[in-house]
A and B are shown apart, each in its own frame.
Chain A
Amino acid sequence: MKNYQLAWRNLWRNKRRTLITAASVFFAVFFALIMRSFQLGVYAKMYRDVIESYSGYLQLQHTDYLDESSLDNGFVLEQSLTEVIEADPNVTGVIPKLESFALAAAGSRTQGVMVIGMDPDNEQKTLNIKNRLIKYRLTPEATEALKGERMTDRTARLLDVFSGEAWTDEKSFITDLGIRDDDSAAVMPLFREYASLDNRYLTSADSGRAVIGYGLSRYLSADIGDTLVVMGQGYHGVSAAGLFVIKGIVSMPNPEIDNAFVYITLADARYLYAAPGMVTSAIISIEETGDKDLLQTQQRLSAACNDRLVVRNWKEMNALLLNQMEADNKSGAIMIGILYLVIAFGVFGTVLMMMAERRREFGMLVSIGMQKRKLAGIVGMEMLFIGLLGVMAGIAASLPIVFYGYARPLRFTGEMAKMYEEYGFEPVMPMLLPDTYYLWQAVVVLLILLVAISFSVRRIFKLNIINALRA
């Protein structure tokens, strides 16, 4: 009989203990995987949102622009450089961008804003701002008007909860308001009448038009068709002022951006800030966005720039967000660490019991001529089997949940959703598909087993046959 066969049979001599120990490993692996999958999935979504709606993956900037984001650190984007960048195999486009701070007023209300000038047709190839145009919103007036209509109690209550919110797609609007499939035919026409809005996006031909963030529109109580007065400081301190008619309202993922977002065409921005031909940065869209490709492309492009310009990646530009997520990530890792620590004690306890219980047996085996080395191998293998059983069961049980959570992200409804939105997060918790984090769970369990195995192996080698047989 082979060693592994012996080990496998030994496991089932005490079926209960094997199963309970394997179950404890399963428990830890399962929860750790589900937790990680949620956590990492949420980070991935946040990063994607910020990249797709604001920073892009790579940006060409003046070397000082990251630290001093002022117009004075702008530059003229030479056609020759654009051509060099576009020639890179991984680059799909270059989007010149001119942005600066200004004061926006509508009526008697004012607010500091970030005016962003880009060419809309060009921008849409890379960024995803157009998809953030809001389709539904619940103004206080709409909420009042809708209350008189017939709808389920739950929807009527949720109307109050979500008063003032906006949605970019119909599906999440329906989920948030708890509208059931069979009611939607009756209720949706009402919502279309009161809560939908005629929202258009900027085109390159537009002049004197702006798309603004929903937070900003609420703050200024400015709606589509209203005029926005923008005042600020242009290039080299000249004063800048302009009028823009609001053409569309978008909901940006980050409240800080949403409350200060004014998007106009590049030509308008250059005119407003008296900075003809200038940009403050250029978003470089790329094909392959994985870390390795990203860094390689960044290096290649940086080499092509003169020493005043530099190519930054999204991680450098969003250092704060990354830092926050990393702090959160660490707290999650600590939680899982504690869980595994507790499980490690449990496994260790099992090993201890098993060793004590089988002392006599071991003594017997050694006395009839079994090599201690072989015995240790068998015992080690037994433990390995228990651990692997737990890990594999944990992985197997988590997979359907993770795939389901990826395909149909968990979306909070009602008050819970509102809370997330107030914090500036979308109330969606997508899961991340199996990745290296799956591997890590197995590694951790193996480490725990290693400790347990080395303990039992030492015990076996120190075994005194006479004493053991007497036990």
Chain B
Amino acid sequence: MITSIAWKNVWRNRTRSLTVIAAVTVGVFAGVFAMAAINSSIVQRIDAAVNEELSHIQVNNPGFRGSSDIANVIAGPQKVVKVLDETPGVTHIAERIIVRGIASTSAGSAGVEITGIDVEKEQQMFTLNERLIPGTGSYFGTDTRLNSAFIGEKLAKELYIIRYILSEESFTTLEAEGVPAAVAAKLRPLENQRFTTEKKLTEAFSGLLTAKEAKLYGMKIKEAAWSYREGSKIILTFLDADGMQTGAAFRICGIFRTNNDFFEAMSLFVPRDELRRLTGMEEGQYHRIIARLEDNDQTDKASAAVKESLPGLEVMNWKQIQTDLAMIADYVNRIYGIFMVLILAALAFGIVNTMLMAVLERTRELGMLSAIGMNRRRVFSMIMLESIFLSIVGGFAGMAVSAIVIAITNHTGINLVKYAEGLEAFGYSAQLYPTIGADFFIMLTVMIVITGIISAIYPARKALQLNPVEALRGE
């Protein structure tokens, strides 16, 4: 009975209630959506870390990660493989040889981590091969596969393997991409010129096009002009097992592009047997053994079990390797939790004001109700309920809107190209696909109800302080 009276009371002053409800809707929507967007970037980062960079579990010689000393190989690799194989949930296992060195071309050089991999096994484990930039070759598919290297785009840029040329082919691409013929014609003077950096190309075409055209078609022109010398050679220099400087020429078989600049700039993959031959390491010597799990949720349990069985070796899961990732997720969630509380607190002001109005303009009515025998508890709960209804209706509307918008943007994605450079340097994608857990909505509902209750306290107390006799006499 009280409930339905409260509900009807809410709608007695439609405009006023709707203003508050709209405020709650907008506030909740904005908060939830912001949270979903930021959450997605973390989820995507974790996905990339596991599927492209780290895998779930890594086993190292205890001294290896600190120094990358070539002599720090894993003692008893067969046992490690056996233990991993027997661990429930493990689907793939691969051994790696890793050395630090310098990659150089005639134009540039960069420090790299050279990883010798089992090409077939790692193709099943990681999705990195899917990150191959179309037209740059393949994932170790060429005939000269022994001395071929699979490298990141950022590294390729640092070594000046990637250049920009507007070839006849690029012009065809531009036409297919819908760039007007007039714009293409303006670009003709640049045909077949070589630009070593993206910036130089941009400067060149910006001089020929209007600012608007450059802005509209700049990305497409860069994409079309992007090219690299097929089968470019790089020289890798590193120390061999005896501590002597050694090196060899490798042919680039493919270039990959991820959202993590640091990984792209540091990583260089070569076939393991070739690296073993060059370093003079013995058969069966590995620096790292990695394992992939069926399900990410098994990570903690599986890595603990492996650790137990392999004393003397360093067993780490991706959370322990990328401590910052787990921490940043936690930290960001906390920040947004506080932000959500701030929004709800701001909303509470509006609700208090509205409820206060609702109480004060009904002085006579409330006096009448108490006079005919409605007890104080009932009056109190009626005001409470009205306030909760205001917040919960707005809250549900806000959550419904955000659920819809999240579903849509999760499909289409949100593009933050302007900040791509900065985000990708930290390994975060500039293309966001907002997503949020269902448990968040449950927690939020509780928070919204609490907001309604807290905002009702002051107005409800005011209502209780009314003296029935005076209230009836009032106005």
- Residues of B within 8 Å of A21, CB to CB, are 349, 353
Contact A342 B69, CB 8 Å, known A103-B101, A110-B238, A422-B323: no
Among candidates B104, B110, B196, B423, residue contacting A324 with C-beta atoms closer than 8 Å: B423
- Residues of A within 8 Å of B19, CB to CB, are 345, 348-349, 352
Contact A109 B69, CB 8 Å, known A323-B419, A338-B30, A338-B34: yes
Say yes or no: is A330 at the interface (Cβ < 8 Å to chain B).
Answer: yes
Say yes or no: is A23 at the interface (Cβ < 8 Å to chain B).
Answer: yes
Among candidates A67, A109, A330, residue contacting B197 with C-beta atoms closer than 8 Å: A67
- Residues of A within 8 Å of B160, CB to CB, are 68
CB <8 Å contact, B349 and A24: yes
| Chain B 301-320 interface mask (CB, 8 Å, partner A; 1/0) | 00000000000000000000
| Chain B 442-466 interface mask (CB, 8 Å, partner A; 1/0) | 0000000000000000000000000
Say yes or no: is B422 at the interface (Cβ < 8 Å to chain A).
Answer: yes
Going nearest first, the 6 A-B pairs with the smallest beta carbon separation are A112-B111, A345-B23, A24-B349, A346-B350, A323-B422, A324-B422
Say yes or no: is A302 at the interface (Cβ < 8 Å to chain B).
Answer: no
Among candidates B27, B67, B69, B238, residue contacting A341 with C-beta atoms closer than 8 Å: B27
CB <8 Å contact, B26 and A68: no
Q: Which of under 10, 10 to 19, 20 to 34, or 35 or more describes the interface residues of A?
A: 35 or more
Contact A349 B426, CB 8 Å, known A111-B111, A218-B66: no
Say yes or no: is A105 at the interface (Cβ < 8 Å to chain B).
Answer: yes
B222 → chain A closest CB, angstroms: 14
B115 → chain A closest CB, angstroms: 15
Say yes or no: is A310 at the interface (Cβ < 8 Å to chain B).
Answer: no
B113 → chain A closest CB, angstroms: 10
Q: A288 CA to B200 CA in the complex, in Å?
A: 32
B107 → chain A closest CB, angstroms: 7
Interface residues of chain A: helix, strand, loop or mixed (majority)? helix
CB <8 Å contact, A111 and B419: no
- Residues of B within 8 Å of A330, CB to CB, are 419
CB <8 Å contact, B200 and A70: no
Among candidates A27, A219, A338, residue contacting B349 with C-beta atoms closer than 8 Å: A27
A50 → chain B closest CB, angstroms: 14
Would you list which residues of chain A between 232 and 250 have a CB under 8 Å from chain B?
Answer: 232-233, 237
CB <8 Å contact, B100 and A111: yes
Say yes or no: is A275 at the interface (Cβ < 8 Å to chain B).
Answer: no
B391 → chain A closest CB, angstroms: 13
A338 → chain B closest CB, angstroms: 4
- Residues of A within 8 Å of B357, CB to CB, are 17, 353, 357
A462 → chain B closest CB, angstroms: 15
Q: A383 CA to B339 CA in the complex, in Å?
A: 28
B111 → chain A closest CB, angstroms: 2
- Residues of B within 8 Å of A320, CB to CB, are 421-422, 425
- Residues of A within 8 Å of B323, CB to CB, are 422
CB <8 Å contact, A419 and B346: no
Q: A23 CA to B356 CA in the complex, in Å?
A: 15
CB <8 Å contact, B347 and A346: yes
Among candidates A27, A112, A321, residue contacting B110 with C-beta atoms closer than 8 Å: A112
A433 → chain B closest CB, angstroms: 24
CB <8 Å contact, B16 and A349: yes
Contact A112 B71, CB 8 Å, known A20-B353, A338-B34, A342-B346: no
- CB nearest to A220 among chain B residues: B67
Say yes or no: is B78 at the interface (Cβ < 8 Å to chain A).
Answer: no
CB <8 Å contact, B354 and A353: yes
Q: A16 CA to B349 CA in the complex, in Å?
A: 12
Contact A16 B243, CB 8 Å, known A327-B423, A343-B346: no
Say yes or no: is A108 at the interface (Cβ < 8 Å to chain B).
Answer: yes
Say yes or no: is A404 at the interface (Cβ < 8 Å to chain B).
Answer: no
- Residues of B within 8 Å of A110, CB to CB, are 68, 100-101, 238-239
| Chain B 74-95 interface mask (CB, 8 Å, partner A; 1/0) | 0000000000000000000000
Among candidates A105, A220, A342, A353, residue contacting B16 with C-beta atoms closer than 8 Å: A353
Say yes or no: is A28 at the interface (Cβ < 8 Å to chain B).
Answer: yes
Stretch at the interface among B130-138, B324-332, B403-411: B324-332
Could you list some 13 contacts between A and B, CB below 8 A?
A20-B353, A24-B350, A28-B346, A70-B107, A320-B422, A320-B425, A324-B426, A345-B20, A346-B347, A346-B353, A349-B20, A349-B23, A352-B19
Contact A326 B422, CB 8 Å, known A105-B239, A349-B20, A352-B16: yes
Q: A362 CA to B429 CA in the complex, in Å?
A: 57
